[in-house]
Amino acid sequence: MDLAERIARRRSQRSEHRLVVDWDGLNPAVHLQEPVGREALIEALLEAIDPLFDETLPSNVYVWGPAGAGKSAIVTALMSTLEGELSPRQPIYTTTRGGSERLEIRFVYVDARRETSRFRIYRQTLAALRTESVPRRGVGTDELRAQLRAELATTDGVLIAVDHLDEPGTIGLEDLQDVFASFDDVAWIGVGRTPPDDLSAPVPNARIHVPRYSYELVDILTVRASRALSRNLDHDQARRLTEWAEGNAHDALAALYVAAVEADAAEANRIRSGDVERGTQAIPRGGAPIGRVLALSENERVVLRELLDLPAREEGSIDAVADEIAERSDLTSSTVKRLLYELAQIGVLDRVQVSVGSSVVGRNPSMVKPNFSTALFERLDDT
DNA sequence: GATCCACGGGAATACACGGATG
DNA sequence: CATCCGTGTATTCCCGTGGATC
């Protein structure tokens, strides 16, 4: 979108009193093409993968830092730009025997929250590299690995970024080493929260620490808001959000998103401080990131949706809640119960002791409550 | 026929608590 | 008083089965 177009769009939006021009601009799970306030880190990352620019694969890299520090933002932006700049837009070469066709290094981003098995990682990588369809079932992991190996031969190597390692429910750095151990023409960037010293697996020498945001977060909110809103965000409100979020960009953006929803619903022409207030109240600090929740399987999200729809979800043991949800879905109570426990284990739900009357015998039941922004989930979880 | 993996259910383990035991 | 035991529930762990796909 060029400048004139942007201006025109704003004017027309303004005249319709639309505050929010582009919801994705505020979506914590969607990253900017051009990260803000992380120039030094990007430089460090480029340095680590420098051999690429001589058309050789770099060594593996480990990127780590706390939640909401912008790891995904940097890595996704880097990978998509590299794929755009250094890889052919479409493969136009024909493989002439003995010909010296110039191959290319390719770039793939994999979200370990979605690709939870070795099979899926191979599959996702393969799907990113080739245009023909990739089997989902009926073919073994070894077969898929062989197909990937064959596909790699048509490239000069692949740099694969695997995000969200070592989170509850995702594979770890150790698994990643193993998955690509037998590939010479693959280098990877592993991304996780765990400090290298706390990992038992061998960690690549190239390590990039992404620290929590401090002042930069104000700029990020400001830039995001300027893209997403037809009116600028007050500097004070941006500051208030970053302080409340203690530097966690996800939480700050999520709160801003909800604030925008409030303002939009009220047909306000700017985000008011009451909106920000309600935004912050709608986000559990340090809860599960919305991207985590959206990456859950269909049935896990069904369970969450039903849970949120339950008339009185504040009370009710897991057992009782599972029964109710089972009635409203085509899952068994037993399966719903298992899913609820699993969601609690990965931090999407919180388990809280239900204060129970004295008479009962046996272990005390607990109930679950969401540990993520339900407002955001309800808006972003389409289908 | 092979393969992956989501379901579903049951086995094993953890916990709560009153009462018995040392 | 500290520990163990029995009973009843909650929670975690595990694995066989079957659907969908190749």
Interval A146-164: pLDDT, tens: 999 999 999 899 999 999 9
Q: Which residue ranges have CB below 7 A from strand B?
A: A 117, 119-120, 137-141, 143, 297-299, 330-335, 338-339, 361-364
* Distance in angstroms: CA A315, C1' B6: 29
pLDDT for A61 beyond 80 = yes
Query: CA-to-CA distance for A373 and A278, rounded, in angstroms?
Result: 12
Contact positions of strand B to protein Cβ (< 7 A): 1-10, 14-17
Q: Which of A129, A147, A150 is nearest to A138 (CA)?
A: A147
Contact positions of strand C to protein Cβ (< 7 A): 7-14, 19-22
Which residue's CA lies closest to nucleotide C22 at its C1' atom? A138
DSSP state letter for A206? E
Phi then psi for residue A107, to 5 deg, are: -130, 130
* Distance in angstroms: CA A360, C1' B10: 25
Q: Which of A225, A227, A205, A206 is nearest to A217 (CA)?
A: A225
User: Is the CB atom of residue A133 positioned under 7 angstroms from any atom of strand C?
Assistant: yes
Which two structure tokens, joined as six digits, stand for A353? Answer: 């002791």
Tens-place pLDDT, residues A267-316: 888 999 999 999 999 999 989 999 999 999 999 999 999 999 988 766 78
Tens-place pLDDT, residues A226-276: 999 998 899 999 999 999 999 999 999 999 999 999 999 998 889 999 999
DSSP state letter for A62? E
Tens-place pLDDT, residues A343-358: 999 999 999 987 665 5
Q: Which residue has tokens 């979200």? A: A111
pLDDT for A15 beyond 60 = no
Q: Look up the pTM and report it.
A: 0.89
Which residue's CA lies closest to nucleotide B8 at its C1' atom? A335
Nearest nt to the A367 alpha carbon by C1':
C10
Start-to-end CA distance of chain A, whole Å, equals 28
Nearest nt to the A361 alpha carbon by C1':
C8
